[in-house]
Structure 1
């Protein structure tokens, strides 16, 4: 048996309608959607900043900045998150299976959010550590609230790290645009990620990581304690590290359904997954029950019709239809 779910974002501004589509299409593993069309307050960064503990953030002309005091923008982000969780709690009262929420991981957050005097948090070792600790502590309280709301469900926390490859490779540009921030080396990256993973596990939830980047650092993510890796199958090479990681118990979530309007063959998508596993000599009996099918990335850029169709396609591929 395989499951299907979405990455996180959906098009439009109607949260109730987006969640209804999620429940109708991938109801065995639904997720609390993000609707960035409502503004930056509702996007992946704003939603994550809303749960930080001890670091206040506000929106500046160049984007989100921490350490500048609480402003109206972060209050708006917190309000939207609370409203969405209220509605999700109401709409999922009959649901008893797993349910997924999403947060932005510490490396991508550091590569996106600015320090009080400008430039990214990524630029300073102490700032990176402080941001990760604030995220971990805020997530602890957030998960207590989430688990109370969805008491009958296993909570899955998807940690989004789209920028992780760029951070590890030193490819995140500085504010001037003339250079790049220095590489964050694997031991530090491991520590930043591990602090978040441990909070998720301590809360009785399951940590999953998603990255729609090339050269996903599989060993690093598995070593940090994530129990599954979600990725875009079209962007990775079937290196042996994937097989070794899978054999060690880390599940694989395959992003195979296009995230924007595209003609697809469900059979062809099934075959792509089978080909990946077949490369390592794994038959269906090996991965049955450990496979989750998703779109390649979030669906914020899709048409409303395709958002529903993409999730339905993911479920069809999971059912091998």
Structure 2
């Protein structure tokens, strides 16, 4: 009987970095007793599985059957299925998958991020991916159903009472500390011996600063492909010089979000994290881009034009 680790998110908690690392190293991990599941050979995670389950139809059945068959045929002691989009849906979406694995030890992993930082990061993700998007206030309201963590955890626990639900906190680090989502998940899976030496330096999907996001929000969605490619190159090239955290919402907007979920967070802390004084730290530092905006904009526009972008 294998331990099935179902990693359901949340979004913007270092998932891209860990998923890419697991995908690149899946053969060596399997040799060490950890099976990493992918449903598409060209994609590092199980996002297509979530989409298929949400849409229904034969694709979902085929994917679930293939996953079940692979797990049952594998000698691995641990299996990781990672798709942060699970946290955006009702846990009922995962019932078909869970029912296909009845003989295994199911453990559900989810990282919770302080709500104001989560909302900011998801909004930035939407704009850097699509260009002109929904107005910030409207977007924040649309995220509200995903940020009641007490409700989230309770719904997953009730849907899968035989599973072990294992929430974790995504800690907001200072500007000089590199996040390490690979070490975090392997430690949570009780496999710390698999943590690579370079794990803290493996970052993907780095978040642009607020000024860049404002510029991206002026780019028509018809140019989104060029935007995505240019932004990816810019962030890979400049890193901290172009990135930002805690720099988009006003202090009042951030405070309002935290206040809205204070009671939910208290309930989560009492039930799942009694050792913590507060579920999240109140004084998480932001991180501003270290490069001048004019130079960032010039470089982005150069990359954008090379990708065929037009203004």
Choose 1 or 2 for highest CA Rg: 2
* TM-score, L = length of structure 2: 0.32
Instruction: Give the structure with the higher percent helix.
Output: 2
